[in-house]
């Protein structure tokens, strides 16, 4: 039985010999938990969930009166919490905010569809994931209303993980390769521009990323945790520990984390404190038959940097590739590429070809594509045969201008300082648009 | 009432009296270079803000003496016997010869224009001086005190080091050599045969611009030069992935063979700009100060060389563009004070001293613990003026996305970088812009080559945040401070204006101010040099179409640039397409739309240039 029905209770030997957590913390209790729900469009907490807050050794339900609540995010000043909740089991998930000093929760979103995983953004905005026919998509909005701004436009569930201190939104989404059954971590600016995978060493399932004070990103991969560091382009494995982790984690100190963990697959996830690389996690709270997930510490934390949007007032998005021969995924023979074919997903979710653009001898090309539309590139040889093609979809915002080093070059690859030949030939991109049918453009 | 009035009057009198006796504004020491005595007992700190050498007794940590030297000193070096300290006075065009026993300047030696560094040969017979404005190295006979020779170095000749065997002197330069329009920047390490006093070699540093200190290992087999690798030919569409500047070290010498350039950056963090290098005597580690990042980067040389040995030539060439490479050889980043510049290691290698230029302190690093264990103060003013706060901001890289760069990366030492850039907001491949000198800009609004920014607050605030830094940057107070500093950047002395004009300069002045062609026909006012380039800064602060626009420019209207110290700031024109002043007229003025120059002979153009040098 979930303890939310108890209201305010005293924790009885929840901590057995462990030092107390130095600040209040919030977690989600759930009888059942499906960590791979976003891969099949399912419900993470099929039997409900409840947010609990523990302060000075006493725990209470954070927001009484909810059939389900989860996804706590503490404001930068540590005084309020955003969360996903539904009053009744049949309701959709919505975003709510509750002050920690007392008082009831305030409904922030009122959609017909689910809205989950809220986060505070700098500049008084919030971000969350909202269910659409194409899967969960990330939006930002003012907490007091106004038109939301959509940040993601590719198919599949896009679920927020964190707001990085550099101002970008970290999210998980299906691996770009549609054949893959894994997720990866991506970043996007708060105006929806600059979307990219956080690192390009795809392959393993990654989810529940969270930024540490060091700037490292700790995430769940399989049943254990790993991290991305600033210095490396590939994930860094943490010392192997028996048992299973369920991200996200909370950082008590640079050396110690609060984690959801279970010693074996038959057990429920409990709350543990763990010093990575130093043995097994130490129990903080374990309740038989109940999973303890999503720990968050209640304390002020750094306000991320605001992203000053540089989107221009122009139609579509300009995309420049410096050298399409640069690829970490395959060797593309020099001189083999003659053109790039650009495809997009139309409003019906059907892949349509937008057109082709010439590729210069140095591998550069310059195109203008429809904005807020999933697109992908395919490199062609002189007779139109495919040489290489993107597996997944990405998008650009209206007025965005992006440059990439190559096709899947990797984030560690900085550009060669050379004027691309395409810009020596022309400063105008090859313009491409979605086909128009029956007077209506097939655009979303 | 009467009592109150009296009090007010008394206060006013006191205030006036205080103003009358107020000393001149205190100057900030701004330590820029350090040298330690061979026995490790003394530390010499060169303060470019107070024009002095501050000598510390390292046993007590106390200041022994403050020795005044010339104006804006830039570097110092000990003689082989450690009895002399040579200080390059960049604004005095001299070298101070300081006796380390008396700590007095015993003589002043000649140099070229803006000496930036001086170093003695191993015998102590000749002094080699890198001259930043004359782009050469002076050879000064220490016996006679006279300059005996000049050797051509790179543009902005900057720093020198002597090989351990005394046979070679290596010279860097801070501006890339003038090259073809939109060509990849090229720099060099000028290798001087110390005995023959000739240039023996020029190591090519491809795509390097802004090369600072150079160091050579004690065994002479490895050289390291701190440098930046700009990305000025690629549209500056974003900042991530090292899109603007690579912070790098060039390696040379027997250990590596051909020059190898490496990155010291990471994927999500940048360490910029690398300035000084100190290598442990056993060649185990190298320390690199990164001024804008307020840190010192520690490189494990053994790991670095091991990595390089495994790489093919092609992989070595790719190393500088790989942000993940530093994980293989960078072993620590040590936070220090504000604006770290010069470094010096104690003779036993246990302490590293770091000159924090805008912090007015010296950080003392325990090299085993790799952390700062103490600070030495230079005793500057206790409070910071808006200009000084702005100076700190100017040299700090913390405001750009991931700390990628700051103002001083492109405006090197508050000047310029000699490059033209493809900025993004106008589209790709359009409106290339030459970087402009910041000295004397206060009263030259509007700003930008298209005159789009009405004031420096706009230029440095929203525009910089949105299109350069791509991240939340200065708040209102900081922006005011930054602009205050930029407006306070002093104009360096003009080396070509010494009282009366020379005959050639006089002839050039007549050409500059002429109103008629040589055939007597009048020159329209808008086409006379002295009309657009008028006023105290030689600009009428108006936009003009002088026919220098290119097909890639969105508008032919160009802001009329100021001409003060114009001779220093090549390349020229708004896009940097003219490699010299002469090319402005001989290549880019075929229709006499940018002044009337096609009726002038070569010698007359030379005269015009001679006059322009005096502005």
Q: Are B323 and A122 within 8 A, CB to CB?
A: no
| Model confidence at B21: pLDDT above 80 | no
Widest CA span in chain B? 90
Mean pLDDT of chain B: 94
| Cβ neighbours of A199 in B, within 8 Å | 267
Q: Are B472 and A306 within 8 A, CB to CB?
A: yes
Task: Give the B window 242-301 contacts with A, CB below 8 Å.
Answer: 242-243, 246, 263, 266-269
Greater model confidence, A370 or A2: A370
| Model confidence at B326: pLDDT above 60 | yes
Widest CA span in chain A? 74
Q: Domain spanning A3-297: which CATH class is it, in words?
A: mainly beta
Instruction: Write out pLDDT tens, residues A159-203.
Output: 999 999 999 999 999 887 766 778 999 999 999 999 999 998 777
Q: What is the pLDDT of residue A240?
A: 75
Distance CA A166, CA A168 (A): 6
Q: Are A401 and B235 within 8 A, CB to CB?
A: yes
| Model confidence at B348: pLDDT above 70 | yes
The chain B residue lying nearest A194, using CA atoms, is B238
- Domain ranges in chain A are 3-297, 317-441
| Model confidence at B148: pLDDT above 70 | yes
- Those residues whose C-beta lies under 8 Å from the C-beta of residue B419, and which sit 6 or more positions away, are B176, B185, B209, B230, B232, B410, B434, B435, B576
| Cβ neighbours of A357 in B, within 8 Å | none
Cα separation values, B551 from A425, A428, B422, B556, B558, Å = 11, 12, 14, 9, 14
Q: How confident is the model at residue A249 (pLDDT cuts 50, 70, 90)?
A: very high
Residues of A within an 8 Å Cβ radius of B: 122, 166-167, 194, 199, 215, 229-234, 305-310, 312, 318, 320, 322, 366, 401-403, 405, 411-420, 423-424, 426-427, 429
Q: What is the pLDDT of residue B425?
A: 76
Please check whether residue B109 is in contact with residue B140, taking contact to mean a CB–CB distance below 8 angstroms: yes
Q: How confident is the model at residue B345 (pLDDT cuts 50, 70, 90)?
A: very high
| Cβ neighbours of B295 in A, within 8 Å | none
Q: DSSP characters for B173-202?
A: ESSPPP-STTPPPEEEEEEEETTTTEEEEE
Q: Are B427 and A215 within 8 A, CB to CB?
A: no
The chain A residue lying nearest B183, using CA atoms, is A418
Q: Does residue B240 belong to the interface with chain A, where contact is any CB pair within 8 Å?
A: yes
DSSP state of B345: E
Q: How far is CA B494 from the centre of its chain?
A: 17
| Cβ neighbours of A426 in B, within 8 Å | 429
Q: Are B235 and A215 within 8 A, CB to CB?
A: no
Q: What is the pLDDT of residue A20?
A: 84
Mean pLDDT of chain A: 90
User: Prior bond to B273 cis, omega within 30?
Assistant: yes
**A316-335 burial: b if 16+ Cβ within 10 Å, else e:** bbbbbbbbbbbbeeeebeee
| Cβ neighbours of A427 in B, within 8 Å | 427-430, 552
The chain A residue lying nearest B403, using CA atoms, is A166
Task: Give the B window 207-226 contacts with A, CB below 8 Å.
Answer: 207
| Cβ neighbours of B237 in A, within 8 Å | 320, 401-403
What mean pLDDT comes out for the span B277-303? 98
The secondary structure element, H or E, covering residue B612 is helix B602-612
Q: Are A417 and B237 within 8 A, CB to CB?
A: no
Please check whether residue A219 is in contact with residue A228, taking contact to mean a CB–CB distance below 8 angstroms: yes
Q: How confident is the model at residue A2 (pLDDT cuts 50, 70, 90)?
A: very low
Q: What is the pLDDT of residue B25?
A: 67
Among candidate residues A260, A258, A286, A285, the one with its CA nearest the CA of residue A273? A258
Distance (Å) from the alpha carbon of B334 to chain A's nearest alpha carbon: 14
| Cβ neighbours of B205 in A, within 8 Å | none
Q: Are A310 and B424 within 8 A, CB to CB?
A: yes
Among candidate residues A89, A90, A44, the one with its CA nearest the CA of residue A71? A44
Q: Does residue B462 belong to the interface with chain A, where contact is any CB pair within 8 Å?
A: yes
| Model confidence at A4: pLDDT above 70 | no
Q: What is the pLDDT of residue A407?
A: 80
| Model confidence at B5: pLDDT above 60 | no
Q: What is the pLDDT of residue B432?
A: 93
Greater model confidence, B9 or A435: A435
| Model confidence at A329: pLDDT above 90 | no
User: Prior bond to A248 cis, omega within 30?
Assistant: yes
| Cβ neighbours of A322 in B, within 8 Å | 234
Q: What is the pLDDT of residue B229?
A: 98
The chain B residue lying nearest A365, using CA atoms, is B428
Q: What is the pLDDT of residue B118?
A: 98
Instruction: Write out pLDDT tens, residues B460-509.
Output: 999 899 999 999 999 999 999 999 999 999 999 999 998 899 999 999 99
Task: Give the B window 62-101 contacts with A, CB below 8 Å.
Answer: none
Helices (H) and strands (E) in chain B, counts: 12, 32
Q: What is the pLDDT of residue B9?
A: 42
For residue A65, give both structure tokens.
């009166």
Distance (Å) from the alpha carbon of B461 to chain A's nearest alpha carbon: 11
Q: Domain spanning A317-441: which CATH class is it, in words?
A: mainly beta
Q: DSSP characters for A298-319?
A: -S--PPPPPP-----SSSSEEE
Helix, strand, or coil (residue B90): coil
For residue B15, give both structure tokens.
């205030």
Task: Characterize the bridge pairing of strands B126-131 and B136-141.
Answer: antiparallel
Q: How confident is the model at residue A408 (pLDDT cuts 50, 70, 90)?
A: confident
Distance (Å) from the alpha carbon of A216 to chain B's nearest alpha carbon: 10
**Strands (DSSP E) along B254-407, which ranges?**
257-263, 274-279, 285-290, 295-300, 330-335, 340-345, 351-356, 361-366, 371-377
Q: How confident is the model at residue B333 (pLDDT cuts 50, 70, 90)?
A: very high
Best mutation target among A214, A409, A417, A420 (most B Cβ atoms within 10 Å) is A417
Could you say which of 1.10.3720.10, 3.40.1190.20, 3.20.20.60, 1.10.760.10 is the CATH number of the domain covering B503-612? 1.10.760.10
Q: Are B266 and A402 within 8 A, CB to CB?
A: no
- Those residues whose C-beta lies under 8 Å from the C-beta of residue A107, and which sit 6 or more positions away, are A94, A95, A96
Distance (Å) from the alpha carbon of B597 to chain A's nearest alpha carbon: 30
Q: Does residue B470 belong to the interface with chain A, where contact is any CB pair within 8 Å?
A: yes
Q: Are A322 and B401 within 8 A, CB to CB?
A: no
Q: What is the pLDDT of residue B255?
A: 98
What mean pLDDT comes out for the span B571-591? 96
Nearest-CB residue to A322 (from B234, B246, B323) = B234
The 3-state secondary structure of B585-602 reads: HHCCCCCCCCCCCCCCCH
What mean pLDDT comes out for the span B558-564? 94
Nearest-CB residue to B269 (from A230, A318, A423) = A230
Q: Are A412 and B324 within 8 A, CB to CB?
A: yes
Q: What is the pLDDT of residue A41?
A: 76
**What percentage of chain B reaches a pLDDT higher than 90?**
92
Best mutation target among B471, B552, B554, B575 (most A Cβ atoms within 10 Å) is B471
Q: What is the pLDDT of residue A403?
A: 94
The chain B residue lying nearest A307, using CA atoms, is B471
The secondary structure element, H or E, covering residue B204 is strand B198-206
| Model confidence at A418: pLDDT above 50 | yes
| Cβ neighbours of B238 in A, within 8 Å | 194, 402-403
| Model confidence at B518: pLDDT above 90 | yes
Q: What is the pLDDT of residue A10?
A: 33
Distance CA A324, CA A358 (A): 12
Q: Count of CB atoms within 10 A of residue A57's CB?
A: 12
Q: What is the pLDDT of residue B2?
A: 40
Q: Does residue B184 belong to the interface with chain A, where contact is any CB pair within 8 Å?
A: yes
| Model confidence at B127: pLDDT above 50 | yes
Instruction: Write out pLDDT tens, residues A193-239.
Output: 999 999 987 778 999 999 999 999 999 998 999 999 999 999 999 97
| Cβ neighbours of B182 in A, within 8 Å | 419
| Cβ neighbours of A417 in B, within 8 Å | 184-185, 207, 229-234
Q: How confident is the model at residue B24 (pLDDT cuts 50, 70, 90)?
A: low
Q: Are A194 and B429 within 8 A, CB to CB?
A: no
Least confident of A100-104, B227-231, B607-611: A100-104
- Domain ranges in chain B are 387-488, 503-612
Nearest-CB residue to B327 (from A194, A232, A401) = A232
| Cβ neighbours of B326 in A, within 8 Å | 231
Q: Are B425 and A310 within 8 A, CB to CB?
A: yes
Instruction: Write out pLDDT tens, residues B387-431.
Output: 999 999 999 999 999 999 999 999 999 999 999 999 877 789 999
For residue A38, give both structure tokens.
């976003």
């Amino acid at each position: 039985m979930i303890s939310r029905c108890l209201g305010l209770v005293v924790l009885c030997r929840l901590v057995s010999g462990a030092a107390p957590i130095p600040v209040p913390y919030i977690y989600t209790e759930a009888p059942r938990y499906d960590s791979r729900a976003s891969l099949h469009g399912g419900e993470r907490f099929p039997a409900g969930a409840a947010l609990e807050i523990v302060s000075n050794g006493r725990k209470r339900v954070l927001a009484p009166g909810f059939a389900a609540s989860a996804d706590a995010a503490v404001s930068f000043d540590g005084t309020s919490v955003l969360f996903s909740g539904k009053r009744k089991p049949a309701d959709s998930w919505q975003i709510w905010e509750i002050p920690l000093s007392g008082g009831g929760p305030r409904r922030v979103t009122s959609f017909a569809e689910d809205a989950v995983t809220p986060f505070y953004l700098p500049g008084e905005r919030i971000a969350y994931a909202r269910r659409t026919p194409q899967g969960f998509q990330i939006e930002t909005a003012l907490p007091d209303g106004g038109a939301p701004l959509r940040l993601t436009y590719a198919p599949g569930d896009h679920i927020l993980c964190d707001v990085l201190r550099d101002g970008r939104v970290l999210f998980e989404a299906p691996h770009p390769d549609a054949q893959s059954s894994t997720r990866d971590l991506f970043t996007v600016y708060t105006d929806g521009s600059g979307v990219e995978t956080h690192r390009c060493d795809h392959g393993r399932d990654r989810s529940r990323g969270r930024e540490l004070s060091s700037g490292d990103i700790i995430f769940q991969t399989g049943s254990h945790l790993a991290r991305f560091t600033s210095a490396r382009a590939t994930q860094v494995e943490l010392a192997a520990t028996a048992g299973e982790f369920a991200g996200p984690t909370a950082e008590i100190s640079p050396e110690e984390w609060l984690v959801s963990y279970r010693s074996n697959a038959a057990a429920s996830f409990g709350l543990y404190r763990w010093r990575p690389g130093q043995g097994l996690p130490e129990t903080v709270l374990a309740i038989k038959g109940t999973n303890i997930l999503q720990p968050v510490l209640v304390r002020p934390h750094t306000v991320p940097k605001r992203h000053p949007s540089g989107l221009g007032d122009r139609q579509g998005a300009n995309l420049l590739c410096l050298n399409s021969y640069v690829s970490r995924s395959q060797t593309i023979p020099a001189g083999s590429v003659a053109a790039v074919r650009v495809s997009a997903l139309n409003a019906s979710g059907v892949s349509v070809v937008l057109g082709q653009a010439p590729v210069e001898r140095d591998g550069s090309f310059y195109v203008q594509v429809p904005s807020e539309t999933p697109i992908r590139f395919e490199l062609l040889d002189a007779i139109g045969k495919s040489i290489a093609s993107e597996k997944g979809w990405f998008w650009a915002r209206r007025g965005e201008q992006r440059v990439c080093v190559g096709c899947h070059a990797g984030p560690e690859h900085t550009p060669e300082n050379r004027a691309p030949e395409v810009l020596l030939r022309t400063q105008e991109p090859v313009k491409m648009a979605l086909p128009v049918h029956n007077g209506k453009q097939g655009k979303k | 009432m009467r009592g109150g009035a009296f009090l007010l009057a008394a206060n006013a009198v006191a205030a006036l009296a205080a103003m009358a006796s107020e000393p001149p504004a205190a100057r900030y020491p701004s330590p820029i270079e350090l040298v330690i005595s061979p026995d490790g007992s003394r530390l010499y700190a060169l303060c470019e803000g107070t024009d002095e050498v501050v000598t510390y007794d390292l046993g007590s940590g106390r200041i022994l003496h403050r020795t005044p030297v010339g104006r804006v000193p830039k570097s110092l070096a000990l003689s082989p016997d450690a009895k002399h300290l040579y200080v390059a006075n960049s604004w005095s065009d001299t070298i101070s010869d300081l006796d380390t026993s008396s700590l007095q300047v015993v003589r002043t030696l000649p140099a070229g224009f803006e000496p930036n560094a001086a170093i003695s040969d191993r015998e102590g017979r000749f002094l080699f001086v890198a001259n930043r404005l004359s782009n050469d190295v002076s050879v000064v006979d220490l016996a006679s005190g006279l300059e005996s020779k000049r050797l051509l170095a790179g543009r902005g000749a900057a720093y020198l080091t002597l090989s351990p065997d005394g046979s070679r002197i290596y010279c860097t330069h801070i501006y890339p050599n003038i090259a073809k329009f939109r060509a990849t920047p090229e720099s060099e390490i000028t290798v001087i045969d110390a005995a023959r006093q000739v240039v023996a070699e020029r190591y090519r540093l491809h795509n390097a611009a802004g090369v600072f200190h150079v160091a050579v290992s004690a065994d002479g087999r490895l050289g390291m030069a701190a440098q930046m690798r700009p990305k000025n030919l690629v549209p500056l569409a974003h900042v991530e992935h090292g899109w603007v500047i690579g912070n790098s070290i060039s390696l040379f010498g027997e250990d590596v063979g051909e020059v190898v350039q490496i990155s010291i950056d990471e994927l999500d963090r940048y360490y910029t700009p690398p300035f000084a290098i100190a290598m442990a005597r056993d060649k185990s580690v190298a320390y690199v100060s990164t001024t804008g990042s307020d840190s010192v980067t520690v490189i494990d040389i053994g790991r670095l060389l091991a990595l390089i040995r495994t790489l093919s030539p092609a992989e070595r060439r790719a190393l500088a563009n790989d942000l993940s490479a530093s994980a293989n050889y960078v072993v620590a980043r040590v936070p220090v004070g504000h604006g770290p510049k010069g470094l010096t290691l104690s003779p036993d290698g246990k302490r590293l001293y770091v000159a924090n230029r805008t912090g007015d302190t010296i950080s003392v690093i325990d090299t085993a613990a790799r952390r700062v264990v103490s600070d030495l103060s230079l005793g500057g003013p206790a409070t910071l003026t808006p200009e000084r706060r702005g100076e700190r901001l100017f040299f700090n890289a913390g405001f750009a996305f991931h700390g990628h760069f700051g103002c001083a990366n492109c405006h090197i030492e508050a000047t310029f970088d000699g490059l033209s850039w493809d900025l993004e907001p106008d589209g790709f491949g359009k409106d290339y812009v030459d970087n402009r000198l910041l000295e004397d800009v206060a009263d030259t609004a509007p700003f930008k080559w298209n005159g789009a920014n009405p004031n420096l607050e706009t230029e440095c605030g929203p525009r910089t945040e949105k299109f350069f830094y791509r991240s939340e940057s200065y708040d209102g107070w900081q922006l005011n401070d930054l602009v205050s500093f930029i407006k306070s950047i002093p104009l360096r002395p003009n080396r070509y204006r010494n009282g009366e004009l020379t005959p050639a300069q006089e002839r050039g002045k007549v050409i500059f101010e002429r109103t008629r062609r040589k055939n007597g026909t009048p020159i329209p006012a808008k086409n006379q040099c002295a009309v657009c380039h008028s006023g105290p800064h030689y600009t009428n602060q108006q936009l003009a179409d002088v026919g220098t626009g290119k097909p890639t420019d969105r508008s032919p209207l160009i802001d009329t640039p100021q001409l003060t110290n114009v001779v220093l700031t090549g390349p020229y024109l708004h896009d940097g397409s003219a490699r010299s002043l002469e090319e402005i007229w001989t290549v880019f003025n075929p229709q006499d739309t940018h002044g009337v120059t096609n009726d002038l002979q070569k010698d007359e153009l030379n005269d015009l240039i001679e006059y322009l040098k005096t502005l």
